Amino acid sequence: MTLNLTIVPEGDSALLIRFEQKINPAVNAQVLACMKAVREMQIEGISDLVPGYASLMVCYRPQVISYKALKERLAGMEIDTEAAAAETRTVVIPVCYGGEYGPDLAACAKRAGMSEEAFTALHCSVSYPVYMLGFMPGFPYLGGLDERLVTPRLETPRVKIPAGSVGIGGSQTGIYPMDSPGGWNLIGRTPLKIYDPMRQEPFLIHPGDLVRFVPVDEEEYHRLAQEVL
Amino acid sequence: MGVRILKGGMCTTIQDFGRTGWQNMGIRVCGVMDRRSFRIANLLLDNPENEAVMECTLIGPTLEFTSSMIISVTGGDFRPTLNDDPMPMYTAVYVTKGDVLRLGTAVTGRTCYIAFSNYLQIPVVMGSRSTDLTAGIGGFKGRALQAGDYIESRIKRRKYLPNFLSRTLPVREFDEDHATIRVVMGPQDDMFSRKGIETFLNSEYTVSGSFDRMGVRLDGRFIESKRGSDILSDGTVLGAIQVPSHGKPIVLLADHQTTGGYAKIAVAAGTDLPKLVQRRVGDHIRFQRITVEEAQQLASAEEKELQAMRNQIHRPCREVLECRLTAGRLKKLFPAE
């Protein structure tokens, strides 16, 4: 499929390919298919491809290829959304919900008018598309949170949220890849390291993946945590 | 065999061109703030283009060398001294075991670079030796240098360089208290009103104290948007000029996040970024619109300029040439027996 792409410069060393400016899985699928297509073109001089919700930023070295030449090559690109979608991986994230790992679960469930169990079950009931990674290393921007689980951010952000914490901030849900300050409601924690710079493959989750949360009890959490070490 | 840090300075970090190729995973590029001064520092020593250096901010470090090597200091003027004697900047300088290099407070600019002919023994993390202070990776233990740190040299030799006396450049930059930064408009300039664009291009902005490796906030006239300046988060670059709803520009610098949700009215030309990052609090900045083609021509012109510098430091030194001439003449006067 040939899409009608808008390509604009982002300074002298990057350009932005823009899609319909909406947050939805179909638009983001085009972005990720476009990223795959550009990667496969193996254009010399490209240094980074950065997907957004509805755009793809292409960083390049102007000493190797000019804006004009790169834009011309990209404009005629073929994008196969279906083929890219067929390669989608599902990443399963075990989460210990509530208790010391999810100190805000009780309050979130109460606010939503349901039991902690029901809240947890609903959070685990769907696969969340990874639109992009950003904000910090390996931080996934996940879409598809059930409207009943939407919870406003904390009024006072926490100074330190432990790595692996699973939270809800407004209409987004996500996982903290490393210890950091933050204002999201913490509902659980995964023993997996979704980001580990010392690991051969530092990132568990990639743009375009589907993330599925699976509840585990504390015993299983500790067993998995041992395995990770 | 290496460098001992006696004083860390305000924020001295190991940097190179930065960590590219991982931005889609949320890894920041980081790398040097002032690429021009960085390149000249390495150029003076015939180092590889991307060899890691120390980047110093506002107050420089004090270093003790534990072996002989050649170093160079470029960028803002930090009044460097070697064993308490003034040391020239933009010059290859031979140092030996026990020598102490002391950098003071920046008199001009705010960033300077120290390059080493023996290279620094710093592990490569995801393709770069740059320090990422926010993620705590790369560089020396993922942090700024402190007193007591010790960095080994990566190679033992390279104590001599050809045409050593020629290795000095008459460069003196960053003395002025104002700068005109050329910019390529967009990618979201269409979110600002005609009045907003005119304000941005025709008024003077002041460098605020909110200035670090992530970015610099500018004070000045309110830039009007059409309907707010929130966008769906997309990729950001070094030099991108974001205008949040408060209407004051923020220029993203080396440690910027990989994505952001504020409209970018324009992006600074790569060649003009050194002028921007070397500004001091209270300095004035004006923006001038150019096309992307013009910005790329400026980049090519700078490549030629750096090549000319490379040629200049490889010419035999005049004094040495004259010595040879003299020796030649003596040879004729006193033919070998």
Residue A199, pLDDT score: 87
- Rounded Cα–Cα distance for residues B62 and B12 (Å): 10
A122 neighbors A151 (Cβ within 8 angstroms):
no
DSSP B222: P
| Residue A15, min C-alpha distance to chain B (Å) | 8
10 Å CB burial of residue A171 (0-12, 13-18, 19+) is middle
Q: Which chain A residues touch B269 with a CB distance below 8 Å?
A: 11-12
Please indicate whether, in this complex, the C-beta atoms of B235 and A50 are within 8 angstroms of each other: yes
Please indicate whether, in this complex, the C-beta atoms of A9 and B186 are within 8 angstroms of each other: yes
**Among B26, B299, B303, beta carbon nearest to A137:** B26
Please indicate whether, in this complex, the C-beta atoms of A138 and B25 are within 8 angstroms of each other: yes
Residue in B closest to A35 by C-alpha? B24
pLDDT in tens, B95-139: 999 999 999 999 999 999 999 999 999 999 999 999 999 999 999
Q: Which residue has the tokens 């208790």?
A: A99
| Residue A9, min C-alpha distance to chain B (Å) | 6
Please indicate whether, in this complex, the C-beta atoms of A62 and B296 are within 8 angstroms of each other: yes
B249 neighbors B173 (Cβ within 8 angstroms):
no
Residue B154, pLDDT score: 95
Residue B337, pLDDT score: 53
Closest CA to B12 of B310, B240, B213: B213
Residues, chain B: 337
- Rounded Cα–Cα distance for residues B115 and A106 (Å): 55
Please indicate whether, in this complex, the C-beta atoms of B24 and A202 are within 8 angstroms of each other: no
What is the residue extent of each domain of chain B?
2-166, 178-290
Does the pLDDT value for residue A2 go beyond 60? no
Reported CATH class of domain B178-290: mainly beta
Residue B131, pLDDT score: 98
Q: Under DSSP, is residue A30 helix (H, G, I), strand (E, B) or coil?
A: helix
A7 neighbors A31 (Cβ within 8 angstroms):
no
Please indicate whether, in this complex, the C-beta atoms of B234 and A57 are within 8 angstroms of each other: yes
DSSP A54: S
Higher pLDDT pick, A223 / A83: A223
A1: number of Cβ within 10 Å: 9
Q: What are phi and psi of B282, to 5 degrees?
A: 95, -15
| Residue A207, min C-alpha distance to chain B (Å) | 8
Count residue pairs from A and B with Cβ separation < 8 A. 138
pLDDT in tens, A103-120: 999 999 999 999 999 999
Please indicate whether, in this complex, the C-beta atoms of A9 and B232 are within 8 angstroms of each other: no
Q: Under DSSP, is residue A199 helix (H, G, I), strand (E, B) or coil?
A: coil
Distances (CA, A) of A39 to A6, A32, A44, A112, A226: 18, 11, 10, 43, 37
Interface of B with A (CB under 8 A): 20-29, 125-126, 134-135, 137, 184, 186-187, 231-237, 239-240, 257-259, 264, 267-270, 292-293, 295-296, 298-300, 303
Contact partners, residue B128, CB within 8 Å, separation at least 6: B16, B17, B18, B19, B20, B30, B31, B138
- Rounded Cα–Cα distance for residues A54 and B97 (Å): 56
Structural domains for chain A = 6-86 (3.30.1360.40), 90-228 (2.40.100.10)
Amino acid letter for position B163 = N
What's the CA dihedral at B250, B256, B258, B263 to 10 degrees? 0
Q: What are phi and psi of B152, to 5 degrees?
A: -70, 160
Q: Which chain B residues touch A55 with a CB distance below 8 Å?
A: 232, 234-235
Prediction ipTM score: 0.92
Does the pLDDT value for residue B330 go beyond 90? no
Q: Which of A73-82, A109-118, A126-135, B32-41 has the lowest mean pLDDT?
A: A73-82
A125: number of Cβ within 10 Å: 11
Residue A194, pLDDT score: 95
Average pLDDT for residues B8-26, to the nearest whole number? 97
Residue A4, pLDDT score: 64
Structure tokens at A41: 């073109």
Residue in A closest to B239 by C-alpha? A11
Does the pLDDT value for residue B327 go beyond 80? no
B60 neighbors B9 (Cβ within 8 angstroms):
yes
Can the peptide bond before residue B86 be classed as cis, meaning omega within 30 degrees of 0? Answer: no
